[in-house]
Amino acid sequence: MNNITDNMNVGYIDNAILMLNTYAREDSLKPLISILEALKPDLNNESLLAELTNTWRNLGIYQGTVLTYVPYFYTLISDDIFGDNLKK
């Protein structure tokens, strides 16, 4: 995993949580929001960052919802936001 914490700060995370809680109240986004909350005190937690990426990749159509309300979300996860380069 690359050093994505260069693009991450608590302000971005707080705003993402606020936007998702305000405008995207789908139950399937709750795990993503929980991980974002857990990352706030420790932006360098590699296991949480990996969990964030995995949770993102399992959102399916709700990825579009996240990007609608948090367009910079792609900066919070690894470079391959849609998992197109995953080995199969």
pLDDT in tens, 22-42: 999 999 999 999 999 999 999
Q: Residue for token digits 């948090």? A: 70
| 83 torsion bin: left (phi>0), alpha (psi -120 to 50), beta (else) | left
pLDDT at residue 72 tops 60:
yes
**For residue 20, how far is the Cα from the chain centroid?**
11
When the pLDDT of each residue in the chain is averaged and rounded to a whole number, the result is 86
Least confident of 7-11, 14-18, 41-45: 7-11
Residue with tokens 């998992």: 83
Average pLDDT of the residues in 37-58 = 94
The model carries a pTM of: 0.82
Which residues, 6 or more positions from 24, have their beta carbon under 8 angstroms from its beta carbon?
62, 65, 66, 68, 69
Kindly state the average pLDDT of the residues 62-70.
95
